[in-house]
Amino acid sequence: MQNLDQIRADNALMACGQQPVPAGRAPVKPVTDTAVNRLPALIVNNGLLATAAFAEKKGDELLCAMDAVAWHLADSRVGRLPTNRTTTRGLTEHLIANNSQALRLAAAEALNFLTYLKRYAS
């Protein structure tokens, strides 16, 4: 059984296109370092939902990075989102309908994942 750090690193490598996504999981578009570097500060200062809304309006690069976060949170090994909510829109819809604890846990896990994603993005 893998721990969360191993899962985060594994998902970050896949989100950066450095290793293939296993069969049965939704594909994810590769992310760029410029978009990934902006997300942690946005989440800390504005919250996960506001950052998701901003990413949807701002353009492809930031949206791809936010989609990678949603994709990670929807991983069955992580379990912060249902496995069919792998996009920014799915993340937003699920967390709006859920309680504040689910939102806090998702935001904390998103920040932890982004520490790995920042290291691998290019």
- Prediction pTM value: 0.94
pLDDT digits 0-9 by tens, 3-13: 999 999 999 99
pLDDT digits 0-9 by tens, 54-102: 999 988 999 999 999 999 999 999 999 999 999 999 999 999 999 999 9
Architecture of the 4-23+31-120 domain: Orthogonal Bundle (1.10)
Residue ranges of the domains in the chain?
4-23+31-120
* Residues 30 and 40: beta-carbon distance below 8 Å: no
Q: How confident is the model at residue 111 (pLDDT cuts 50, 70, 90)?
A: very high
Q: What's the pLDDT at 1? A: 83
* Residues 117 and 31: beta-carbon distance below 8 Å: yes
Average pLDDT, the chain: 95
Neighbours of 86 (CB within 10 A): 22
CA 102 to CA 96: how far, in whole Å? 10
Residue 24 has pLDDT above 90, yes or no: no
